[in-house]
Structures are given as C-alpha cells and as structure tokens.
C-alpha cells in the first residue's frame, strides 16, 4: 500500500528542511563571525592600550562559541524568516538588528572577561556591527543554500533542533550574568 504523506507530515518535513538549512548556513556564518570577533577583540585591546594577547585555546573557544551561536541563530532565522520584511541579505539585516536589540545588551553587560570594558567606545560598535553583519551574511547564505540544497537528510534537521535547544541555556546564562552585574554582583573571574 502506497500512502501519500498528509499535510502535517509535509509541514514537519518543511520545518526540518528549514532547520537543516539554518543550521548549516548559521554554522558557516558563525565561523566567519568568530574570526571577525577575534579581530574585533584585538582592536579593542589596541584601542584600550592593552597589549593584545593570543592563544590557540582562546581562539578555538571563540570559534566554537561563534559556531554554536551561529548554528542556533541560523535555525532561529529560518523560523522567523517568513515574518521578516525583505529577502535575502535585506531580510538578514532586519534579523541582525532584531538580534542586536534582543541579545546585544545582555552580551555587552555580561562580558565575562571584561574585554569590552577595556575600550567600550571601540568594543560596543565593533561587536554591534558583528551582530548586524552576521544577520546580513546569514540571510544571504540561507537563501543561497536553500536554492541549491534540494533535499537535506532528515538527521541534519533533527540535529538543528537539538543545537537550537542546546544553545538556549547559554543564551539564558548571558541574561542571568547581565542581571547579576546590573545588581552589583560580579560572578566569575
């Protein structure tokens, strides 16, 4: 017996496909954003008169965090994409601005290493630009990947859901740290 998939099955498959596209586009953009973040950190250090440091473990940490946030952001972008105005990079610009408004303050306030406080006049605009430019790149990458990738494996879609859910505690943690800092409590190093 050859049964046709029902509407809910098609919707679920469409969502998994979108999540898979978002995961891969976001991960790729996240790695590029991680490299850009490392360069921005160097600019902040130089502007603050602090000798810039470099370590392999620090760079790998930045890249892994950027990759995971990028992958989660890609999944979120694909979920929100139809509700955003514009198309491609323009839609990504709107997404980047929304992400900056929603997550930027917590990111800047919860700066655990104090790197942005060395030179906030350089750090805040530099990292704000990364949020926005990351959104632009994500919009363009997701649209390009979706056009070329006809049928991603379902496992990639399922992995995208896991990555998005797994990143939620890290994002929530930023808000908790920001709240503690605003309350005058300085957890961590």
Q: Which residue has the higher pLDDT, 72 or 184?
A: 72
The per-residue pLDDT for range 131-168, each reduced to its tens digit, is: 999 999 999 999 998 888 766 666 666 666 666 666 66
Q: What DSSP line would sit under the chain, residue for residue?
A: --PPP-HHHHHHHHHHHHHHHHHHHHHHHHHHHHHHHHHHHHHHHHHTTPPPP--HHHHHHHHHHHHHHHHHHHHHHHHHGGGSSSSHHHHHHHHHHHHHHHHHHHHHHT-TT--GGG-HHHHHHHHHHHHHHHHHHHHHHHHHHHHH-S---HHHHHHHHHHHHHHHHHHHHHHHHHHHHHTT-----
Q: pTM score, two decimals?
A: 0.75
Q: What is the pLDDT of residue 125?
A: 93
Confidence of residue 181 (pLDDT cuts 50, 70, 90): low
The per-residue pLDDT for range 69-121, each reduced to its tens digit, is: 888 889 899 989 989 998 889 999 999 999 999 988 888 877 656 677 788 88
């Amino acid at each position: 017996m050859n049964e046709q998939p029902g509407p809910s099955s098609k919707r679920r498959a469409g969502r998994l496909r979108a999540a898979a596209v978002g995961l891969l586009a976001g991960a790729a953009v996240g790695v590029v954003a991680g490299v850009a973040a490392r360069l921005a950190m160097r600019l902040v250090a130089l502007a603050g008169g602090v000798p810039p440091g470099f370590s392999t473990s620090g760079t790998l940490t930045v890249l892994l965090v950027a990759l995971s946030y990028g992958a989660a952001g890609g999944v979120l972008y694909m979920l929100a994409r139809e509700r955003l105005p514009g198309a491609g990079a323009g839609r990504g610009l709107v997404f980047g601005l929304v992400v900056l408004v929603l997550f930027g303050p917590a990111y800047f306030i919860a700066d655990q290493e104090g790197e942005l406080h060395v030179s906030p006049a350089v750090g805040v605009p530099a990292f704000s630009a990364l949020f926005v430019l990351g959104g632009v790149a994500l919009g363009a990458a997701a649209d390009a990947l979706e056009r070329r990738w006809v049928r991603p494996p379902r496992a990639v879609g399922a992995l995208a859901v896991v990555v998005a859910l797994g990143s939620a505690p890290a994002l929530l943690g930023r808000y908790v740290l920001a709240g503690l800092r605003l309350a005058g409590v300085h957890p961590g190093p």
